[in-house]
Every structure is written in C-alpha cells, then in structure tokens.
Amino acid sequence: MQKGFAQPLLIVLGLIVLVTVGVYFYQNSKVNVPLQTPKLAISKQPKFISYENTNFGFGFEYPNGLNAKEDSEEEFNKRGNGDFRKNFKGYVGYEPGKFLGAVAVLDKSDSFDASPFTIWIFDNTANLTVDAWFDKYWYYPYLWGVFDYTSKSHVTPDSEATVSGQLAKYKVVDYQPGRPKFVYLAKDQKMYLFRIIGETGDKILSTFKFLK
C-alpha cells in the first residue's frame, strides 16, 4: 500500500469509529420520559344539597344521599290509616289550624316517621303566639289531646332558640320514637312546626332560612 493512500484511509476509519461511538453514547444517554396518562377530572358530589320553597319563602340544606319531598295532610292520613283532622275535632271539639303545606327530608327508606327534618306550615291569620297556638293545638298532627296540666307541662315548648334570626320555642319529647324535638316559630301570619330527630335534623335546621 502506498504511503500517501494509507493516511486518508486511516483518517476515514477513525472518523467512522468516532461517529459510531458518539451515536452509541448519545442514544444511551437519553432520559426516558414516561408517557403522561391524562387524568380524568372527577366531579365531586356536593356534601349538602340546597332546597328552596318559593311558595312559602324559605330554604334549607340537607346532606347528599337524602331527599326532600313535599307532603300533605291527605298523605299523612293515608300513612296513618285515619283522618287526624276529623279525629282531632271529634276529641277536642274544634278543628286544628288550617294546613298550608309540609316538607320532609327522607333517607333511602323513604320513611316519613323516621324523617330527621320535617316542617309543617299552618295559617295563623289570628297571629297567635307560640304559647297560645300550643295551648289550642299541641303539636298537631304528631301529638295532641293531652289535657291534664301535669302531662301537658311535660311537652310544653319552654326552651328558646333562634331560627333564621327569628325567635322560636321548642321541646324534646323523650317518650316518642327518636326523641323528636318540636320547634314552633310564628312569622307573617303563619305558624311553622318543625319536627327534628337526631344530629342530622339539627344540622338541617341550622341551615334553615327565610328568603325574604
């Protein structure tokens, strides 16, 4: 081999070796970046659901998983297999307050008897106070007809509370299932009767507000 031809050949071979080594190290020095799996946005369910009754101008919040349902005196009678308004009049001698509407918060059992929060609205055009209303109607339709003073004093609303900025009076009736707390509130010629059972009922009551 001629001396002048050998030198360029060696240079070419050297370059090939350098390029090969360089490519090898470059490929092996790459940082493998894992593919990013797109995350699906999971919408969180609200802990509380808002309920508003525009007919009577109030609203409240109740836990997710429960259900707010409007009720009526007729449906109450069907569940109790009787006519409680007629029974009241036959026993006491006069009718209870005029029924306007009712709302109950139910769990999955749909049991009105076990409802943690129930509200009944009555007409109170005479503007009776809570004490005067209770003296005539007790806690109709849930409890009524207790005439003797000793028994009646055990269920008389004698504790005060504030509901949506309004003064209310209440009593816990220990001997009824669930130890319900009956709360009376008089406002704008209406009487509101709340039946509260358990901690859940108290939490719902704490969110109750008049919209006007």
Which CATH number belongs to the domain containing residue 183 in this structure? Answer: 3.40.1000.10
% of the chain surpassing 70 pLDDT: 78
Asked whether the predicted pLDDT for residue 1 surpasses 80, the reply is no
Indicate the pTM of the whole model: 0.78
Q: Which residues contact 92 (CB under 8 A, 6 or more apart)?
A: 144, 145
Q: What is the DSSP string of 70-94?
A: EE-HHHHHHHHTS-HHHHHHHHHSS
- Please tell me the predicted confidence (pLDDT) of residue 48: 92
Q: Is 203 among the domain residues?
A: yes
Q: Which residue range is the domain that position 79 belongs to?
A: 48-210
Q: What is the pLDDT of residue 146?
A: 84
Q: Is residue 96 part of a domain?
A: yes
Any domain includes 3: no
Q: How confident is the model at residue 7 (pLDDT cuts 50, 70, 90)?
A: low
Express each pLDDT in 130-183 by its tens digit. 999 999 999 999 999 888 777 788 999 999 999 999 999 999 999 999 999 999
With respect to residue 73, please indicate whether it lies within any of the assigned structural domains: yes
Flag whether 180 is in a domain: yes
Please calculate the CA angle 62-64-69 and round it to the nearest 5 degrees: 55
For residues 145 and 91, the answer to whether their CB atoms sit within 8 Å is yes
**Considering the domain boundaries, does residue 186 fall inside one?**
yes
- Tokens, residue 5: 């031809």
Closest listed residue to residue 191, CA positions, set 149, 150, 148, 135: 135
Say if 8 falls within a structural domain: no
Q: Which residues contact 164 (CB under 8 A, 6 or more apart)?
A: 58, 208, 209, 210
- pLDDT tens for residues 21-66? 555 555 555 545 455 555 555 556 669 999 999 999 999 999 999 9
Number of domains in the chain: 1
Instruction: Give domain status of residue 13, yes or no.
Output: no
pLDDT at 41: 54
| Angstrom distance (rounded) from CA 116 to CA 181 | 10
- Average pLDDT score over the chain: 86
